[in-house]
Structure 1
Amino acid sequence: MAKGIFPQMSISDIANALAGWGISVSPEQLKSPTPDFVEGVYCACLQQVTDLNHDSLREPVENALNASQAEDKDLYAAALTTNIILYHLTRFAKAARVEDFNSRDLFSPERERTIVLLSAFINFVKFTEQYCDVFLKELRERSDALIIQRDDAAEQLNDVKQKLEELKTRITRDQPVCDRLIGENTALTSTMFITKDAQQKAIGDVEQYKANRTELLKRKQALSGEIQAVEDAITRTRSRIVQSPERIKKTILVMSTTLTEDKKTVALHENKARDLQAKINALHNIEKDVRGCIEQIQTIEREVQSLEVSQKALGQLRNLLDEKIIERNELRSRQELNLRKLKNMRKRKKFQVNKRSSASKRNMMRWTWNEKKMISKSRKYEKKQVRWKPR
């Protein structure tokens, strides 16, 4: 008994579902299924998911038979198509979670098993239509693109093979020419090596000639130097030979006279130099004295500046002393005025005491306190006068 994860459908539901896909099925056909009927219905379900049918498989089958080079192709075409359909139906059943699908379900169908398989197939198709259309569409598009790429690659492969065959043909045609050119190249190579050896030998000879030439040039330069030295020695020797003795004597006399005059001139210059040295020493001494005078003048200027500052400070102190003397005189005048006021107050007090003998003791004490206050004030003025007294 076939098992699946999809719920089992009734015969009427199966008929309605197949009718929705354009497949007319009667309940009698489902109750008594035949191999042709089952194969047609199964292929219709498979076509809903994978777009595979007998028409789409016809061309691949023919290509496979052509590639196999079978003698009786019609004999194998039906069997190969049936096997391919069975293979895809088995994969379709496994996708619908029916693991025990086999050829018996296709060639010897049973009622219950056929209903279970159709229920699984229909539910799976509906499931794919509901959830997998977008995914399947993308897969189909990718599959179509891959098929196009495969065809392009096949065409490119055929072109490459054709070009390869052409190249092989050209290589075969050009092989004698290549062999002849290889022989010529070998001969030219051997000739080149021989020429290179001769060239190296010639280069060695040239280097030897250059070395010999350089050595000869050095010897020539040395001989030229020796000849020049000999010529210079001959010239010096000729100049030493006396040609006229009288002329030499005259020259000696002139030189003696010149020497004497030069000695006198030198002695005169030495005397002048000594005089100048004495004057220079005197000037140095004068310069030292002048520097000492300048230093003393600078010292005097500093003392004068300090004296001016002291005089200025003394003037300020005198002004301050005058101000203090004026203040002292003012204080003295104030003191005298206060003393006169005090005497007047005493007289007035005595007069009032005599006049008011019945005054209270309190008033007497007040007058006594005022008197003491005036006395203390006068004493303060005296102390202040003594404190500001100039020394």
Structure 2
Amino acid sequence: MAHTDPNLKFWFPSMKPSEIVEAFANWGYSISPEQVAKPTSEFVIGVYSACLEQVTGVSLDALQEAVDQSLANTENPELYSQALAHDLLLYHLQRFARAAKIMDFSARDLYFPESDRLRAILSAFINFIKFSEQNEAFLRRLREQSSALLKERQVVTEEAAELEATMTQFKAKRAEDEPKCEALRQENAALMEQVIAYKEKQMGFLQDIESLKQEKAALVAEKEKVTTEMAAATDNISRTRSRIVQSPERIKRNITSMGNTAAEDKRTVAANEAKTRDLQTKIAALLNIEKDVRSCVEQLQTIEKEVRALDAAQKELGDLRDTLDRKQGERSELIMRRERVHKQLSNAQEKLERAQRHVEDKRLASQQTIERLEREYEEMSVERRDNDRQVEELRAEADEIERKMAEHTKSSQAELNELLTEYWKLRHETEVYMETLANKLGMQVRST
């Protein structure tokens, strides 16, 4: 008989109670046919848990430990422990049942078991477990993946340690550079204020320079005009001297006024030259100020570069902090995965130990069986030698009997041939007699 899932059309063989008992005995779990025929809730929970542990390594103790850890910070955990443990066991068993193609596994199968239903579920579970045992390559891949995860966890742990060290260095350096940065910020603000003030002064100086240049140009033009007038006056004086003087007093007055005018022009020229020298001095001072402003601007540019470098370092520090947080999350996840792998490994080791004990028991039983068979073989060897001797004797007797039978058969065959010859001879004579008699009696006889 076989069972088929009505939805998935999945077929698996239905096992007899004796086959179920034998399968569990091979896994080191002792049950009886009576327990399968009349199941109880405690029995089916133990059997289903054994099947679950055989494939996944999840035992009742591991589930209870998880329940205790989850209820560690809860008031009165004993009120919820049993219910949570049953729910957790039912969740894992339903997942296991779905993998074994039992889609309608429910709490009723745990607390109100039925014999036929139990046989069907155990048949599916045993079929799935044997299928898993036959796929040893899959388990090997799991072990390889576990080893790879452990190596990856080690690498991530080292990277996290390096990142933590780098973060510590960055934090220390940042704390060390923070006063300098604050001082540089204040100095930068002061320099910016000075630059703004220098810019304003420079604009005023430039306006003054422009006005002085205009004034200088006007004075230069006036100087040229005065020089031209002086040259003209000198020419007039020369021409006047060459003439006859009719009114010396008037000429003296003219000369005196012209001398006064020339002196005034000289004073004006001297004042303009003094102003020009002052303007040149101011221009030189403005050039020095411009050099100072240029050096301040260069210093500001240097400070801006340092500020940008500081901002980049702070941004890099933030990225490193985010990377560290992400790596810490990955590290926590890897630690959890390592714990799960360790639990699976311990469960696998326990199953291996049980299997080794079972194999050792089988080996001892096989050794005892071999010794018993050897003793029986020795006894049979002695009996066989006696039988061989008796067979030889019987064979000799059989040969003698066969020889006698051959001789008897030969003599019997000769006698039979003689009898047949006599028979055919007698029959021929009888037929001749019958024909003669028929002819005498006038009867028609048909020979056979």
TM-score class normalised by the smaller sequence:
0.3 to 0.5
TM-score relative to the length of structure 2: 0.38
Report which of the two structures shows the higher radius of gyration computed on alpha carbons.
1
The TM-score with structure 1 as length reference comes to 0.42
